[in-house]
Amino acid sequence: MVFQLFHSFYRRLLTMSFRYQVSLLSLLVLSAAVAVRNLGPNATTTHCRSVPHDASWPSQSDWDSLNHTVGGKLIATVPIAAACHNSLFSQSNLSRFNQPDCDALRNVWYYPETHLPSSSSPMAYTFSNNSCNPWLDPASPCTLGFHVAFSVNATSTSDFQAAIKFTREHNVRLAIRNTGHDYLGKSTGAHALSIWTHYMKSMNFIKAYQSTNYTGPAVKLSAGVESIEAYSFAHSHGVMLVGGNCPTVGLAGGYTQGGGHGPLASKYGLSADQVLEWEVVTGTGELLIATQNQNSDLFWALRGGGGGTYGVVSSVTVKAFSDTFFSTAYLTILNNGTNADDLYHAVGLFIQTLPSLVDAGVYVVWVAAPFGFMLMPAIVPGLHSAGLDEMMQPLLDDISHIGLDYQYSSSEHPSFLTAYNSLTSSWNVSDYNIGGRLIPRSLVDTDSDALLEAIRYISSRTLMSGVTFNLNNGVSSADEVGANPYLRKSLFSVTVGTLINYTDWNANRAAQDMITYDLLPKLQAITPNGGVYLNEADFQAPDFKETFYGDHYQRLLQIKDKYDPDDIFYAQTAVGSDRWKENLDGRLCRV
C-alpha cells in the first residue's frame, strides 16, 4: 500500500515551499481428506474455541508443558503499550507504567519497526480492539483485547507442529503471525495461541533450480524473511525478486499467499506467480512439500488464495530474475482551491495513458486526495528514463495545454535494489483505515466518465491510491494459480484510506464505516460483480467470498477442507471463515 509513501513525499513537497498546502491537508482528517489425523481427534467436538475460565482452557501446567516442548519459546502477551498505563490486565500491582518509555513509544508508534519485534502488536490498530492504546489516559485499561494470548517464537517446523497439536488438544484458537502488517486483522485473534515466524530468516540462492516448468535461478526464503532482506540477498547474487513496495512486509507469508503486487508486476506478474515450491505444515500437523507435481492442489491454493488458511508455510522457493536497470518518474499537480475541474480533467487523461504504460512493463503508483494528484512513482525495469519520458510527454503536453502547473521528474537506477531504495525512506504504517476495489481495464475503455466521477467523489473527501499493472505476464491463464482471477483483467487496485482516530474509538469506527458504506459503494456501483485485492481490502466487506476470491472460492474451500479438515486455521475474510463468528468478547464460535 502506498499511503505510507505519501507522507515522505508530502514532506518533500513542503521543502519545495508548498507550505500553503498544509491547510488543505487537514481536509484529510475527514475524513477429502487424505490427511492423517495424527494429532488428537477432538478439535472439532466443541461449538466454540476455548477462552480463559472455560473448563477446557489449558491449565498453567499445560502451558508450561507446551513451553517445555518448544524449548522455552512460549511468550505470554504483554501489549507493547503497557508502559503508557497505570495498570496491566486490570491489576495495578502489575503496572509497567513508565512515562519516558511511553513517550519513546509514541514517537515511533507509526513505524513498522516498532511492531516487528513484538509477538502480538497488530499494525492495524483496529485489531487491538482499543485494548491498550498508547494515546489514551494512563488511567485507561491495558488488557489483551484482540491481541493473541500466547505466541510460540518459532524457529522450526516442529515448533509449528507443537503449537498445532496443542490448539487441537485444548480447543484453543490458533493464529499465524509473521510481520503483523495485515490490514484485515488476520494475524491476530483474541484468546489465540499464535505461531510467530518473524525470526525464521534463512535464505538460499539456487543457481539452477530444475522442475518440469522452470529451469533457472531461484531463491528459497524462510517464513520470516522481510522484503528488504530478500532484495538485498538477491542483489548480492546478481538477481532480483518479484516482491512488494514495503521493505518490512514478509515474502513467504500473507503477501505472496495473498497474491502480492509490486514494482515488477507489469513485467512478471504477481509474486504468487513466481512460486516454485512451498514447505508447509497442514492443519493436521503434517509437513508437506507443495509443488506443481506434488500436492499440486495445495501448491495452487497457497499461490494467492490467502494467508492463514491452508497451512503454516515454513519456506517458499521463488523464481529469480537477472538484475537490470530501472527508470522512475514522478508527477505532482496540486489542487490550489480553484483548479479542481482542470485537475480532474488531467486525472482523466492520466487514466487513459495507463493501459499503454502497463503494457510497456511500467508499474504505476498514484495518489489522489484533497491536496491534488501525485504519480509516485511510475517504475519500469530495463527502460531508460528517456524512454519513460517519451511515454509521459503527450500527457504532460495535455496538462500544460489545460493550463495546470505541474512538477515532473524522472531518473535512472543501475539495479533493482538502488531503484527500490530510492522509493522511500520512512514508512508510516499504522495510521489509515482502508478499503479497496479492483478497476477492470474494460471500464477505462467503456465508461471512463463514471470512473472519474467516482474517483473525484472519493478523493475530494479523503486519500485514495491507484496501484496500476498488467498482471498477465506471469501466468498463461488466470486459473493457473489460486489468486483472484479478477486481478488479471484489472488495470488498477484502488485503496481508500481514512485517518485512524486513536483518541475517539467511535469516530474511528465511523471512519471505517465511511469507507464501507459511502466511499466504496461509489466504485462498487460502476464495477458490478467486481473484485477486490484481498490484502488491501475492507475487513467489513459483506461479499468477501465473491469479491476477494472470485470464481476460485469453491475450489479453494475444497482444498482448505482437505488440508485443514478440522478448521484449525481461521482468519477474518479467509476462505471458510464465514463458518465462524467472533463474538464481542472475542470468543470464536461456529455459526
Ligand X SMILES: *[C@@H]1O[C@H](CO)[C@@H](O)[C@H](O)[C@H]1NC(C)=O
Ligand Y SMILES: Cc1cc2nc3c(=O)[nH]c(=O)nc-3n(C[C@H](O)[C@H](O)[C@H](O)COP(=O)(O)OP(=O)(O)OC[C@H]3O[C@@H](n4cnc5c(N)ncnc54)[C@H](O)[C@@H]3O)c2cc1C
DSSP 256-287: HHT----TTHHHH--SGGGEEEEEEEETTS-E
Distance of CA 460 to the CA centre of its chain: 25
The residue from 65, 158, 324, 428 that contacts ligand X (CB under 6 A) is 428
- Contact assessment for residue 216 and residue 209, using Cβ atoms and an 8 Å cutoff: yes
The per-residue b/e assignment along 16-25, b for 16 or more CB within 10 angstroms, e otherwise, is eebeebeebe
Question: Under the criterion CB under 6 A, does residue 116 sit at the interface with ligand Y?
Answer: no
Q: Any residues with CB less than 8 A from the CB of 522 and at least 6 apart, and which?
A: 454, 457, 458
> Does 255 engage in binding with ligand Y (CB under 6 A)?
yes
Q: Residue from 69, 114, 153, 527 that binds ligand X (CB under 6 A)? A: 153
Strand ranges, E, within 163-232 = 174-177, 193-196, 203-210, 215-222
- CA 35 vs CA 32, 254, 295, 301: distances in Å: 8, 24, 12, 16
Contacts of 366 (CB under 8 A, 6+ apart): 350, 373, 374, 375, 376, 465, 466, 468
The answer to the question of residue 56 lying near ligand X (CB under 6 A) is yes
Residue 121 partner contact from ligand X, ligand Y, none using kind-dependent CB cut-offs of 5 to 8 Å: none
By CB under 6 A, what part of segment 384-413 binds ligand X? 403-404
Query: Residue from 140, 158, 292, 473 that binds ligand X (CB under 6 A)?
Result: 292
Q: Could you say whether residue 46 binds ligand X (CB under 6 A)?
A: yes
545 binds, among ligand X, ligand Y, none (CB under 5 to 8 A by kind): none
Of 337-345, 357-365, 387-395, 535-543, the segment contacting ligand X by CB under 6 A is 337-345
Q: Which does 257 bind (CB under 5 to 8 A by kind): ligand X, ligand Y, none?
A: ligand Y
Residue 337 binding: pick among ligand X, ligand Y, none (C-beta 5-8 Å cut-off by kind): ligand X
Does 576 engage in binding with ligand Y (CB under 6 A)? Answer: no
59, 61, 72, 591: which one contacts ligand X (CB under 6 A)? 72
Nearest 5°: CA angle at 120, between 143 and 252?
A: 160
- Least distance to ligand X from the beta carbon of 87, Å? 10
74 binding partner (options ligand Y, ligand X, none; Cβ < 5 to 8 Å by kind): ligand X
Between residues 383 and 395, which has the closer beta carbon with respect to ligand X? 395
Dihedral sign of CA atoms 105, 110, 115, 116 in order:
negative
* Least separation in angstroms between CB 92 and ligand Y: 33
Interaction of residue 258 with ligand Y, rule CB under 6 A:
yes
Three-state DSSP class for residue 331: strand
Least distance (Å) from ligand Y to the CB of residue 257?
6
Whether residue 258 contacts residue 184, with contact meaning beta carbons closer than 8 Å, is answered with no
Give the Cα separation of 171 and 188 in Å (integer).
17
All cell numbers assigned to 584 = 464481542
Residues that bind ligand Y (CB under 6 A): 1, 4, 123, 176-183, 186-187, 197, 223, 244-246, 249-250, 252-255, 257-258, 260-262, 307-308, 312-313, 427, 429, 535-536, 571
Residues that bind ligand X (CB under 6 A): 7, 29, 42, 45-46, 56, 67, 72, 74-76, 91, 93, 110, 119, 129, 131, 145-146, 153, 155, 169, 171, 190, 199, 212-213, 292-293, 336-339, 342, 403-404, 426, 428, 431, 476, 499, 501, 503-504, 507, 584-586
